[in-house]
Amino acid sequence: MIEDVKLPEISENVDSGVVIGILVKVGDWVRMEQPLVELETEKATFELPSPVSGQVIEINVKENDEVKVGQIIAKIDPDAQAAEPPASSGTEQPEMAQTERTPPASAKKSEFAAGGAAPAKPARAEPVRQRKEPAAAAAPASPAVRQLARELGVDLGQVTGSGPGGRISAEDVKDYVRGIVAGGGGAGAAPLHKPLPDFSKWGQVERQPMSVTRRRIAGTLSYAWSNIPHVTQHDQADITALEEFRREYAERVQQAGGKLTVTSILLKIVASALKAFPTFNASLDAERNEMILKKYYHINVAVDTDRGLLVPVVRDVDTKSILKLSVELAGLAEKARSNKLTPEDMTGGNFTISNLGGIGGTAFSPIIYWPQVAILGAARARQQAVYMEGQLQPRLILPLSLSYDHRIIDGAEGVRFLKWIAQALERPFLLAAQE
């Protein structure tokens, strides 16, 4: 009996995904759990596995298609499994490829779809009046959203969609109009996305399409920056003693399969800080003028990958030891870099930690990950001369940056929260007691 492979329930509030890679072809033999297609939602990227072993007889989608939950992706004939599948399927990636963080073939296709080297003389950009209508026609949006855009006089080609594949929602259209009005314009105001000049007039250029992941990141950050009044508070912590603590316990954590890092230590400290300062563990319901105070402690951690910045969630941080958090964080980071995160891995976080110390920098202003109200950034720790006990001493100093939503968190509270974290970092004996 032919098996219909359908898109299953993904996660809460996610009912569709965009196909960013086809990993098999008609006629291929596949094993149960072998990935068939790669999909991306507004929450995460994941591979859809085959529910049975057999032969692929139909593929019902193509790259860049948006598919709904319950839609048929492919058809497999399990009765054909009597023939022995090849020992190594061409769709399986060797372990070394994942270790070296080689992007999957589908990612390369999406990022370099223009193909090959740039032409010697790129085509000149068309005038805005000529490309305006085609851009709107090509914008992914439902008929209801298109009607709303017409009623408001909005060119959909100028609107950034926040949904899968850049799909434009009614809220995206309204946000676009609000942005124009907030800028002092109105119906005749200049669009938020002004047409670019023809750069080819001044030299050679190359166009590369933004990947689905990069478009999603751009939409999320644009929304957060436009709708949340950010304040960033800076401080620093003396982690000289903490570094000694980290070295003392590093081998023990490594034997358990993890890596003891400043980030994994910060997870434990931030969970305690959120209990002491519950407003930072909240979300703002602006429509009802209410704060939603959460009684659980799930924390996002930013992970740098070849596909962009991903923020998987470590759950119930307050109930776990630093050793367990270190092991779990290492596993999530590897899943992120090998493109194995599921939507569930990316949802439900209350607060975010972004540590750029492994790359460098002295300080930065991280953007809040909506609907959260705060994010903690850490830069690279450096040896500094500090005046202590009547003399200068070398100390390892960690720069910290806290961005928060000023609508519900005042500056004084932001200072106290960040100072609490800095002081906890300076008292590693308390962390040892929790182990």
pTM assigned to the model: 0.63
94-108: per-residue pLDDT in tens? 333 333 333 343 333
- Collect all residues with Cβ–Cβ distance below 8 Å to 78 and sequence separation of at least 6: 1, 3, 52, 53, 54
Q: Is the pLDDT of residue 301 over 50?
A: yes
For every residue of 46-107, DSSP letters joined together read EEEEPSS-EEEEEE---TT-EEETT-EEEEEEGGGGGSPPPSS-TTPPPHHHHHTTPPPHHH
Burial class (CB in 10 A: 0-12, 13-18, 19+), 144: exposed
Burial class (CB in 10 A: 0-12, 13-18, 19+), 400: buried
Which pLDDT does position 325 carry in this prediction?
Answer: 94
Could you tell me the pLDDT band of residue 431, with boundaries at 50, 70 and 90? low
Structure-model confidence comparison of residues 431 and 283, the more confident one? 283
Q: What percent of the chain has pLDDT over 70?
A: 79
- 226-256 tens-digit pLDDT: 889 999 999 999 999 999 999 988 888 989 9
Q: Which residue has the higher pLDDT, 280 or 95?
A: 280
φ/ψ of 252, rounded to 5, equals -60, -45
Q: Are 399 and 378 in contact (CB under 8 A)?
A: yes
Q: Which residue has the tokens 């119906």?
A: 187
Domain(s) labelled CATH 4.10.320.10 in the chain stretch across 130-195+209-215
The pLDDT value given to residue 233: 94
pLDDT at residue number 43: 60
373-420 pLDDT per residue, tens: 999 999 999 989 998 888 898 999 999 999 999 999 999 999 999 999
Q: Are 20 and 44 in contact (CB under 8 A)?
A: no
The CATH 3.30.559.10 domain(s) of the chain lie at 231-434
Question: How far apart (Å, rounded) are the C-alpha atoms in residues 114 and 196?
Answer: 20
- Asked whether 162 and 223 are in contact (CB, 8 A), the reply is yes
Which tokens belong to 20?
């960013």
Helix (H) or strand (E) holding 164: none
- Residue 122: what pLDDT? 38
Res 433: pLDDT: 52
**Listed residue (280, 250, 275) closest to 262, CA to CA:** 250
| Topology adopted by domain 130-195+209-215 | Dihydrolipoamide Transferase (4.10.320)
So what's the architecture of 3-84 in CATH? Beta Barrel (2.40)
For this structure, is 230 an active site residue? no
Q: How confident is the model at residue 176 (pLDDT cuts 50, 70, 90)?
A: confident
273 has a pLDDT exceeding 60: yes
DSSP annotation of 23: -
Nearest of 186, 177, 147 to residue 159 by alpha carbon: 177
What superfamily would CATH give domain 231-434? Chloramphenicol acetyltransferase-like domain (3.30.559.10)
Please identify which of the residues 230, 234, 298, 406 carries the catalytic annotation: 406
More confidently predicted of 333 and 11: 333
Q: Where along the chain do the CATH 2.40.50.100 domains lie?
A: 3-84
pLDDT recorded at residue 109: 36
Query: What is the rounded average pLDDT for all residues in the chain?
Result: 79
Q: Which of the four pLDDT bands, split at 50, 70 and 90, describes residue 191?
A: very low
> What pLDDT was estimated at residue 349?
94
Rounded CA gap, 359 and 168, in Å? 35
pLDDT tens per residue across span 42-96: 666 778 889 999 999 999 998 888 888 899 999 999 887 555 444 444 443 333 3
| Nearest of 414, 298, 275 to residue 351 by alpha carbon | 298
Q: How far apart are CA 347 and CA 349, in angstroms?
A: 6
Beta strands (DSSP E) in 239-329 are 282-285, 290-293, 299-301, 303-305, 308-310, 313-314
- Give the span between the Cα atoms of 230 and 407, in whole angstroms: 9
**Amino acid letter for position 409:** I
How high is the pLDDT of residue 407? 94
